[in-house]
Amino acid sequence: MLAESAVLLLSIIGVAVWLSAIIGFGLIAAPLLHRKLSPKEAGELVSQILDRAHLVGWYGALISLTSIIIYSLVVSTGAAEPAFLLWSLPLILASSIWWVSWKKILPKANNLRIAINNTNESEVGFAEAKKLFDDIHKLSVTLWKGCLFLILSSIAGLAWLST
């Protein structure tokens, strides 16, 4: 009973931390900054905040994954139940997507943003660089939305597992 409660608490804390990064950055900070500042200033601030948001989300992912490990080692008996799979698999996939967004896509977007800011609009290749940045940004937003969907589906699995 104590182990089940610890798993539930760890999972709730992990998901709450992860969702705070998604909601705090994606729904509050980024839109506010882009509304109040110039595009260049907002881009610089958002890129700094985005790295921290990924870090906070990663901590939430690690806490959530720890709860899965504890459940697997201490609480679970026998084969994995469908509720366990609905809880664990989306979290594992979301944490992988989150890491790719943070370590693979974010550095490329930051480098491209800096290059665009240091280039005149009349220079050759500016339009292509701007389009590439916009495509990378759309990919990043799509990955964050995918993580949000996976996290919410894992909450359904956790609720099913806890009942």
Q: How confident is the model at residue 120, as a pLDDT?
A: 87
* Local structure of residue 74 (DSSP, 8 states): I
Helix segments in the chain, DSSP class H: 2-21, 30-36, 39-70, 82-100, 106-117, 126-162
User: What is the band of 119 on the pLDDT scale with cuts at 50, 70, 90?
Assistant: confident
Closest listed residue to residue 101, CA positions, set 73, 141, 64? 141
Look up the pTM and report it.
Answer: 0.90
| Cβ contacts of 17 within 8 Å, gap of 6 or more | 56, 57, 59, 60, 63
Quote the mean pLDDT of the chain. 93
Q: How confident is the model at residue 146, as a pLDDT?
A: 97
User: Angle 82-100/39-70 helices, nearest 10 degrees?
Assistant: 150
Residue 79 has pLDDT above 90, yes or no: no
User: Angle 2-21/39-70 helices, nearest 10 degrees?
Assistant: 170
State mean pLDDT over 72-80: 87
What are the backbone angles phi and psi of residue 71, rounded to the nearest 5°? -60, -45
Q: Can you tell me the distance from the alpha carbon of 71 to that of 158, in angstroms, rounded to the nearest whole number? A: 11
Q: How confident is the model at residue 21, as a pLDDT?
A: 96
Q: How confident is the model at residue 163, as a pLDDT?
A: 82
State mean pLDDT over 69-76: 91
Q: How confident is the model at residue 39, as a pLDDT?
A: 85
Q: How confident is the model at residue 64, as a pLDDT?
A: 96
Burial of 109 (C-beta count, 10 Å sphere; 0-12/13-18/19+):
buried
Q: How confident is the model at residue 29, as a pLDDT?
A: 92
Q: How confident is the model at residue 86, as a pLDDT?
A: 94
